[in-house]
Structure 1
């Protein structure tokens, strides 16, 4: 069902400054960068190319515009699966509280909550 901790989203005030910090000061590398609209990029950094887990540097204001009640004061964990539909149905059948299965231009995903009410995102890796 879930095969790795794929991404941890760090909500930042300025994506470019955050990228410079992680890459220039901590010697991380940019593993993926793509424009998501006129004001927002998807930026992933990691300690090295090929690292299993990456940090997504995501703009706080953009996240709050998408989801006003998002908690941007701490990182968000994105788990990975290779079969989102099966994982969704399996988690639902086991009584896990899941959000809607979303088909986005950049991938399929859904949120779910643990027993403490913490929210996670499961995303399909292709």
Structure 2
């Protein structure tokens, strides 16, 4: 039985630029790095070192050469925050591309793009006990 999502693979063209985006602009931490010395480098990042799920940045070109049939598309990710309005303003202040803040049945949400124009969403986590 699966009991947790461990890692999400994010295949990127420029690992250094994407790493800089996630760590410097979004404040993610580097959890680990591995390099086989032949171009296969993976960088594990997460919102904090205590996060249960992490993102692993993989070199899209190298992975494509190793596994030509692998789907290298960007996964649809939704992140949670406790203060959506503050985060929205912070991302705008950091010149991160953001979409409009909208209300959906689950609450408020907005999307943002990384430096390779991959889009992700952020949603305000509503306390279900209230």
TM-score of the pair, normalised by structure 2 = 0.55
Give 1:70 shift.
Answer: 1.4
**Counterpart in the other structure of 2:71:** 71
Give 1:75 shift.
Answer: 2.9
For the pair shown, the structure with the greater C-alpha radius of gyration is 2
Choose between structure 1 and 2: higher strand proportion.
1
Which sections of structure 1, spanning at least 5 residues, go unmatched? 77-126
TM-score of the pair, normalised by structure 1 = 0.56
Q: What is the aligned-residue RMSD (CA, Å)? A: 1.8
Secondary structure of residue in 1 paired with 2:19: helix
Structure 1 stretches of 4+ with a deviation exceeding 3 A read none
**Counterpart in the other structure of 1:19:** 19
**Counterpart in the other structure of 1:32:** 32
- Aligned residue pairs, count: 77
Higher relative contact order (CA 8 A, sep 6+): 1
Which sections of structure 2, spanning at least 5 residues, go unmatched? 77-130
